[in-house]
Amino acid sequence: MKRHPHTGQLDGLISKQPRLCDEKREDSATGGAEGGGSHVAALILARGGSKGIPLKNIKMLAGVPLIGWVLRAAIDSKVFDSVWVSTDHDEIEKVAKSWGAKVHRRSPEVSRDSSTSLETIQEFVSLNPDVDVVCNIQATSPCLHPYHLTQALEMITKQGYTSVFSVVRRHQFRWKEVKRGSGKATQPENLDPKNRPRRQDWKGELCENGSFYFATKDLIMKESCLQGGTIGYYEMPPEYSVDIDVDIDWPVAEQRVLRYGYFGLVTPEVVRLMLCKVSGCLTDGRIHLFVSKEDMMSIHTRDVTGLHMLQKEDVEILLLISSKDTLAKLLADKLSQTTGCQVMQVGEDLLNDLQPIVEQKKLEWKDVAYMGNDEEDAPCMNLAGLSAVPCDAPVDAINAAKYTCQHGGGMGAVREFAEHILLQRKKAKSQLEQDRIDRTNF
């Protein structure tokens, strides 16, 4: 297989950041708002001057840059003719391009603290007159899935709506502040206190969750709004309605996205085999030299526990030792005894060495989890259903992995990835069970 000349990814493989292709989008979105052949663009606004969380748009959330979550969903939906990031910041531009997006460098006039989203979108549309429908996707909505966008766009392309935006249903009683002298008075806005409804008897209210806004070009440019004409709403379940505004939102969003986030086109139903590089993943890559001329490598007990967690769930583990790693080769037996895992020596062409192993075990790569720490691991990480690197891995390896650990090599990264694998297995099994129940009820 050959590498793509610009992205460095292997052609034909699915990576963490799928390339934005120039092919026509799927038929479900053709026809457009104004007839066949109209151009539908996704636009993510990502200014560099965030005040609440500096550069939050590219801050790592659950192993992925925040903006990467929505870019992956937009590109994998295959309903957009182009996917763009509007920014004024070099680092955000670099991340956006690495995830397959085009970049609109916004002008200083729409990059101020006082600039509105509408002004930025209008600038984009005026510079891209071929665009007929714009989907403004909020970068801080990491639980967005491709089908959310597909179904919402169909409301415009097939049902005749002029604008469609995402909402979540809330069951919250609202009270309005009333200023009376120095006291704090209030009055109800959406309930009668004498006849408070039970939750099950109240449909609740539709609230914007800010995840996305579809609008036609005419509405944006002539009416100067994103919600107008024939307005439709797309209701998202509460578990997918995640927004990040201030620091306190971050840990909550991280847990939510691990459970409900979209991890790409390849999601394994059950990981059955874990392939893990020893040097740089299970160890920190360092060799300790002593006066007695003995060498030493260290393994964190937390990582060994992570391996045992996978084994308890019937995940087979194969530890990979590079043919260049002399010390690790000498310690192969010790590694096997310590971890209870099989140890295998591999050459520079990892895919060539490991493909027969996957086939011999009658598995597909979607059933494999792979943890590496260098560019040579990229082909295997691209193919694997789940893949990860420690946080201290080189940039080329990070770009190829689907998950970047918060811990470094030999410092708990393997345990972290093991927990991630088990969480994804739990999610997949839960979804399979729900699908079975749905089919039975149907």
Tokens 């206190």: give the residue. Answer: 193
Beta bridge partners of 235: 167
Q: How far apart are CA 101 and CA 156, in angstroms?
A: 23
Write out 250-270 in H/E/C secondary structure: HHHHHHHHHHHCCCCCCCCCC
* Dihedral over Cα of 306, 307, 309, 315: its sign: positive
How deeply is 353 buried, as exposed, middle or buried, from its count of CB atoms within 10 A (0-12, 13-18, 19+)?
A: middle
* Dihedral over Cα of 18, 24, 27, 32: its sign: positive
Specify the pairing of strand 183-188 against strand 175-180. antiparallel
Catalytic residue from among 105, 112, 174, 196: 196
3-state DSSP helix/strand/coil % of the chain, to nearest 5 = 40, 25, 40
DSSP state of 5: T
- In sequence order, the 6+-apart residues with CB closer than 8 A to the CB of 276 are 282, 307, 317, 318, 319, 320, 370, 371, 414
DSSP state of 162: S
Beta bridge partners of 37: none
State phi, psi for 224 to the nearest 5 degrees.
55, 50
Q: Are 410 and 374 in contact (CB under 8 A)?
A: no
Q: CA 105 from chain center: how many Å?
A: 23
User: Which tokens belong to 313?
Assistant: 């769930």
Q: CA 247 from chain center: how many Å?
A: 19
Q: Is 196 a catalytic residue?
A: yes
Secondary structure class of 354 (helix, strand, coil): helix
How deeply is 80 buried, as exposed, middle or buried, from its count of CB atoms within 10 A (0-12, 13-18, 19+)?
A: buried
Q: How far apart are CA 412 and CA 405, in angstroms?
A: 9
Length of the chain in terms of residues written: 442
Residues serving a catalytic function are 196
